[in-house]
């Protein structure tokens, strides 16, 4: 089974303690459903169930490949390039 080859882009492992919301929704005045963090730059965006899909838009705009969920109790990551789900957080 092939693994993700983009792990060297990961700079942000843990979710921030305080997350005001999707950065782009807050700027645009739109609503989000679930929050995702770009693990290359720490950008907080919203999931594909959200109207504006800012996490995926951020991937398209920047090429940053890996996001993780920052929903409470969730620690999975997702690589857009490899279309792989995995867990990077220790434990």
Sole window of 9-17, 47-55, 69-77 interacting with Zn ion (rule: CB under 5 A): 47-55
Among 34, 75, 82, 86, binds Zn ion (CB under 5 A): 82
Binding string to Zn ion for residues 4 to 33, with x set by CB under 5 A, is what? x-x---------------x-xx------x-
**What is the C-alpha separation between 18 and 7, in angstroms, rounded?**
25
24: nearest Cα among 66, 1, 53:
53
The distance of Cα 79 from the centroid of its chain, to the nearest Å, equals 9
Specify the stretch interacting with Zn ion by CB under 5 A; choose among 3-11, 12-20, 69-77.
3-11
């Amino acid at each position: 089974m092939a693994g993700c080859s983009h792990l060297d882009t990961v700079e942000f492992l843990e979710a921030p303690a305080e997350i005001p919301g999707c950065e782009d929704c807050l700027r645009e005045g739109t609503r989000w459903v679930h929050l995702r963090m770009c693990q290359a730059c720490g950008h907080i965006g919203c999931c594909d169930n959200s109207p504006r899909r800012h996490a995926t838009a951020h991937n398209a705009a920047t090429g940053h490949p890996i996001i993780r969920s920052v929903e409470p109790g969730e620690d999975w990551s997702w690589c857009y390039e490899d279309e792989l789900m995995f867990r990077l957080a220790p434990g």
